[in-house]
Amino acid sequence: MNNKITFRAISRIALINAFIAVGLLSVSPAFSYAQDAPRPEIAKHVNAYAGYEGTRVWVLRIGPRENNTAIVQIGGVDHPFDMKIVLSHVEETAKDKRYSVENAGKKFVLLIVNDYGGELYLPETSKTVSLRYDDNLSQSLNAEHFLTEYLNQSE
C-alpha cells in the first residue's frame, strides 16, 4: 500500500514538473514576440536563389512596400552571415534590385537580383557567388515562419 502511494506521489510530482516546464517554455523570449507584439506586414512569398556548392539565399519583403526593406538569409557559406537573417535596404533600378546592409558603418551591397538571377557579395571576401532563382526552394519556405524566425533572432 505504501509503495502505491509513493508511486502516485512521484507520478503527480513528475506531472506537475512537466506542466511547469511547458509553462516556462511558453513565456520564454523565443516564443514571446509572436504572442505579444504586432507582426509587421510582409510579402506573401519568399524568393529563394541557389548558387554553386550549396549556397542558398532567401529574401522576403518586410514592412510596407514603400519602406524598401527586406530580410535576407544566406546559407551554405563559410562566413559569419551563414544562416543569420539580416534586415536590408532595397534599391530598385530599371535593371535590378540591390539589397544592402550596414557593414563597419558603411553601406554594403549584399545581393543584386535581376531577371536572369543574381550575385551575392559577402563582407570581407572577394568572392562573388552567382545565383539563379529556385522555385522549389522558394516554395519550401513559409513567409510567416521566416518572419517568426527573424523576429525571434532579433530578441
Residue 128 cell numbers, joined: 562573388
Whether 90 and 99 have beta carbons less than 8 Å apart is answered as yes
* Strand-pair partners of 143: none
At 29, give phi and psi (nearest 5°). -60, -30
Per-residue model confidence as pLDDT tens digits over 2-46: 554 444 444 444 444 444 443 434 333 444 444 567 899 999 999
Cβ distance 129 to 51 under 8 Å? yes
In this predicted structure, which of 6-10, 79-83, 141-145, 149-153 has the lowest mean pLDDT?
6-10
The string of pLDDT tens digits covering residues 80-130 is 999 999 999 999 999 999 999 999 899 999 999 999 899 999 999 988 999
Give the CA distances from residue 79 to residues 67, 68, 93, 125, 149, in Å, rounded to whole numbers and listed in that order. Answer: 28, 26, 28, 9, 20
Q: Are 131 and 49 within 8 A, CB to CB?
A: yes
Whole-number percent of the chain with pLDDT over 70: 75
> What distance lies between CA 116 and its chain's CA centroid?
24
The answer to whether the CB of 104 falls within 8 A of the CB of 126 is no
Please tell me the pTM assigned to this model. 0.75
Query: Which amino acid would we find at residue 129?
Result: V
pLDDT single digits (tens) 47-66 = 999 998 899 999 999 999 99
Angle at 147 between CA 48 and CA 82, to 5 degrees: 55
